[in-house]
């Protein structure tokens, strides 16, 4: 990269969360003068950080971002707990585990706070980043890269004009709000009927994990579910997902206990009766929102990234991963365009929007699938067949979650490949069906078995050629 092009350029980054702090580091490494603004005080000075989800599942896309900032090892080695598979908990308390991957590929449970702190420490190592905590963005002029902040300690307002203003201020982004006044800016936001509540399984009296630690634990129950990820201190963060009316319907301790006895009996002793009652009634269920918008830039002076651009429901464990991949994609485009922001920003919007919308859709689809499809028989049959194909063709036929979680294939390509696979499975199953009928006819006529297999094979190859052509002739299949 050409540091002469960047060293006199000033960038304001709004939001020192997971994405903003990473983006500040990557821009500073390119030579920009970066000012990083954050509404909250420095979380490294706080004893307790308020806010959502304590731990997150980190996979390759997030790790690629961390690597670009030189902190992948710090996060994964010191703050990551490997999860090699899921552990499914049934209502009778029995469990079964399903590994993620045959080649020991795994995901990591990381604490939000730890990841954020490692990134803030990295930002402090870079001399051309200035951090401004307790600074709340109150307004901005994106066409001028200008932003005004309220210093929540002194009550003063400060305005900074920069070459570029990057909004990484989360799902309820203020920077995005001001983009909505731009012509041709499209925007949609949706709440889902489910809420989530975090509970905690403490370590055992011996100080050990109360469940096998190297799994993502799942209690799937159709209309609601629970998930648990391990923490560094050997506790577990349990997240209960349920429609809001169900949360609101539980108002007394006995109701809560009978609900848990029915659906999550094994979790009661793990959390502890008293603690469960205490935590459930002192917590409140939080909403989940997803956001789609485009474009992500304004001229050569404004940009939104991370949840600000594409908040999603958490049912694929990809929100942070996708946001960190945003930073990698922008970095690659700045390389390609020699830090010419007027060219790189529109290229970023064009490249990133189809992929961001694809993962927003995939996460939403998972949410619906979890609720509605877990009991459908034809769905399960197709899933079994799909799994079989990925066992027979391990490097060629990757299940969707493997493409999403363990590769960096663009999300929209993952969807396109999945659609192609679905068509192939459907065709094979229908050929198998036809073959069944054909076999009856052919055998009745005592024709040779050779004729039969030839006819099946030729039909199959025609279908495969057709579906392949269909899949490859549409470069980006979008919903
Ligand atoms: P945020 O983390 O929201 O950071 C935004 C920052 O901007 C904050 O620090 C905020 O204080 C600051 N800010 C906001 N407004 C202003 C303002 N006006 N002025 C100044 N600063 C401001 N993702 C995964 O990859 N894996 C998971 O397993 C996973 N699990 C999840 C579970 C749940 C229940 C939820 C809700 C989300 C989950 N996610 C997961 C998604 C992940 O949390 C987000 O995608 C990620 O935090 C987005 O990072 P961000 O930096 O864009 O936004
Ligand atoms: C939800 C909430 C298991 C953290 C989707 C899997 C999630 C996470 C799954 C949360 C599920 C669901 C996948 C990963 C991950 C699974 C995945 C979901 C982390 C298809 C803290 N999901 N999540 N799929 O395969 O690909 O294990 O809150 F329950 S990690 Cl909903 Cl891989």
Ligand 1 centre to CA of 204 (Å) is: 31
Q: Does residue 240 have its Cβ closer than 6 Å to ligand 1?
A: no
pLDDT number for residue 369: 77
Ligand 2 centre to CA of 100 (Å) is: 11
C-alpha torsion 146→151→155→157, nearest 10: -10
Q: Does residue 86 have its Cβ closer than 6 Å to ligand 2?
A: yes
The answer to whether residue 299 scores a pLDDT higher than 80 is yes
Rounded Cα distance, 333 and 344, in Å:
6
The atom of ligand 1 lying closest to the CA of 229 is 28
Whether cis (ω within 30° of 0) applies to the bond prior to 403 is no
Helix axes 319-336, 18-30, angle to 10 degrees: 20
The answer to whether residue 372 scores a pLDDT higher than 70 is no
The answer to whether residue 457 scores a pLDDT higher than 60 is no
When comparing pLDDT for 437 and 286, which is higher?
A: 286
pLDDT digits (tens, 9 = 90+) for 333-362: 999 999 999 999 999 999 999 999 999 999
Ligand 1 centre to CA of 90 (Å) is: 31
pLDDT number for residue 472: 47
Rounded Cα distance, 461 and 464, in Å:
5
- Phi, psi for residue 402 in degrees, rounded to 5: -70, -45
Q: Does residue 218 have its Cβ closer than 6 Å to ligand 2?
A: yes
User: Which residue's structure tokens are 């994106």?
Assistant: 142
- Say if CB 58 and CB 321 are below 8 A apart: yes
pLDDT number for residue 438: 65
- Say if CB 293 and CB 181 are below 8 A apart: no
Average pLDDT of the residues in 178-193: 96
Rounded Cα distance, 176 and 164, in Å:
15
Q: Does residue 147 have its Cβ closer than 6 Å to ligand 1?
A: no
pLDDT number for residue 210: 98
Rounded Cα distance, 165 and 334, in Å:
15
3-state SS class at 457: helix
| Torsional sign, CA 106, 224, 236, 312 | positive
**DSSP line for 382-412:** HHHHHHHHHHHSTTTS--HHHHHHH----HH
- Say if CB 68 and CB 164 are below 8 A apart: no
Q: Which of 20-24, 72-76, 159-163, 415-419 has the lowest mean pLDDT?
A: 415-419
pLDDT number for residue 151: 98
pTM of the model: 0.90
Average pLDDT over the chain reads: 89
Q: Does an H or E element contain 339, and which?
A: none
SS3 content of the chain, % helix, strand, coil (to 5): 50, 25, 30
Q: Does an H or E element contain 96, and which?
A: strand 95-99
When comparing pLDDT for 382 and 264, which is higher?
A: 264
Rounded Cα distance, 238 and 133, in Å:
30
The atom of ligand 1 lying closest to the CA of 40 is 11
Rounded Cα distance, 231 and 80, in Å:
9
- Beta-carbon contacts of 240 under 8 Å, excluding residues fewer than 6 positions away, are 196, 197, 198, 199, 224, 225, 226
Number of Cβ within a 10 Å radius of residue 262: 10
Q: Which of 173-187, 218-232, 409-423, 427-441 has the lowest mean pLDDT?
A: 427-441
pLDDT number for residue 37: 98
pLDDT digits (tens, 9 = 90+) for 25-35: 999 999 999 99
3-state SS class at 59: coil
The answer to whether residue 282 scores a pLDDT higher than 60 is yes
Average pLDDT of the residues in 388-410: 85
pLDDT digits (tens, 9 = 90+) for 85-132: 999 899 999 998 888 877 778 999 999 999 999 999 999 999 999 999
pLDDT band at 277 (very low <50, low <70, confident <90, very high): very high
Average pLDDT of the residues in 326-334: 98
| Torsional sign, CA 254, 260, 265, 268 | negative
The atom of ligand 1 lying closest to the CA of 305 is 52
Q: Which of 136-145, 147-156, 330-339, 377-386 has the lowest mean pLDDT?
A: 377-386
3-state SS class at 51: coil
pLDDT digits (tens, 9 = 90+) for 459-475: 555 555 555 554 444 44
Rounded Cα distance, 393 and 349, in Å:
35
Rounded Cα distance, 14 and 173, in Å:
9
pLDDT number for residue 191: 98
Rounded Cα distance, 216 and 97, in Å:
9
pLDDT number for residue 320: 98
In Å, how far are 124, 241, 423, 428 from 91, measured between CA atoms? 49, 16, 35, 35
The atom of ligand 2 lying closest to the CA of 57 is 19
Percent of all residues in the chain with a pLDDT value above 90, rounded to a whole number: 71
Taking phi first (over 0 means left), then psi (-120 to 50 degrees means alpha), and beta for anything else, what does residue 61 get?
A: alpha
pLDDT number for residue 150: 98
CB-based burial label for 142 (10 Å; 0-12, 13-18, 19+): buried
The answer to whether residue 201 scores a pLDDT higher than 90 is yes
Percent of all residues in the chain with a pLDDT value above 70, rounded to a whole number: 86
pLDDT band at 435 (very low <50, low <70, confident <90, very high): confident
- Say if CB 6 and CB 31 are below 8 A apart: yes
The answer to whether residue 456 scores a pLDDT higher than 50 is yes
The answer to whether residue 377 scores a pLDDT higher than 80 is no
Q: Does residue 317 have its Cβ closer than 6 Å to ligand 1?
A: yes
pLDDT number for residue 294: 98
Q: Whose CA is nearest to atom 6 of ligand 2?
A: 316
User: Which residue's structure tokens are 């499914």?
Assistant: 88
């Amino acid at each position: 990269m050409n540091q002469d092009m960047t060293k006199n350029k000033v960038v304001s980054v709004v939001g020192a969360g997971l994405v903003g702090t990473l983006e500040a580091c990557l821009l500073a490494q390119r030579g920009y003068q970066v000012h990083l603004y954050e509404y909250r005080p420095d979380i490294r000075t706080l004893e307790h950080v308020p806010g959502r989800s304590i731990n997150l599942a980190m996979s390759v896309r997030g790790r690629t971002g961390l690597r670009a900032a030189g902190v992948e090892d710090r996060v994964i080695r010191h703050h990551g707990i490997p999860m090699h598979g899921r552990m499914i908990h049934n209502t009778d308390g029995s469990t079964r585990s399903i590994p993620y991957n045959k080649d020991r590929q795994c995901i990591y449970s990381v604490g939000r706070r730890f990841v954020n702190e490692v990134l803030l420490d990295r930002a402090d190592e870079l001399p051309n980043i200035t951090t401004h905590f307790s600074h709340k963005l109150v307004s901005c002029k994106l066409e001028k890269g200008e932003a005004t902040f309220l210093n929540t300690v002194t009550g003063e307002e400060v305005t900074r004009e920069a070459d570029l203003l990057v909004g990484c201020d989360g799902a309820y982004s203020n920077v995005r709000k001001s983009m909505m006044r731009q012509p041709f800016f499209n925007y949609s936001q949706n709440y889902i009927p489910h809420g989530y509540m975090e509970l905690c399984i403490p370590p055992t009296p011996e100080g050990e994990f109360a469940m096998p630690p190297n799994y993502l634990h799942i209690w799937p129950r159709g209309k609601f579910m629970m998930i648990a990820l391990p923490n560094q201190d050997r506790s577990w963060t349990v997240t209960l997902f349920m429609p809001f009316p169900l949360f609101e319907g539980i108002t007394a301790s006995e109701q809560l206990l009978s609900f848990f006895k029915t659906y999550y009996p094994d979790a009661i002793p793990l959390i502890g009766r008293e603690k469960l009652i205490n935590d459930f009634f002192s917590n409140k269920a939080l909403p989940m929102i997803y956001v789609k918008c485009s474009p992500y830039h304004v001229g050569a002076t404004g940009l939104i990234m991370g949840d600000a651009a594409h908040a999603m429901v958490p049912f694929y464990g990809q929100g942070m991963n996708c946001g960190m991949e945003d930073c990698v994609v922008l970095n690659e485009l700045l390389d390609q365009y020699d830090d010419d922001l007027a060219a790189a920003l529109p290229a970023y919007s064009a490249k990133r929007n189809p992929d961001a919308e694809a993962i927003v859709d995939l996460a939403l689809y998972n949410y619906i699938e979890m609720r509605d499809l877990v009991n459908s028989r034809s769905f399960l049959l197709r899933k079994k067949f799909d799994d079989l194909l990925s066992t027979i063709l391990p490097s060629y036929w990757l299940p969707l979650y493997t493409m999403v979680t363990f590769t960096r294939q663009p999300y929209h390509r993952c969807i396109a490949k999945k659609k192609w696979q679905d068509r192939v499975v459907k065709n094979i199953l229908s050929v198998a069906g036809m073959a069944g009928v054909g076999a009856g006819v052919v055998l009745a006529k005592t024709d040779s078995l050779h004729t039969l297999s030839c006819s099946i094979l030729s039909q199959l190859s025609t279908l495969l050629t057709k579906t392949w052509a269909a899949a490859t002739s549409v470069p980006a299949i979008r919903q």
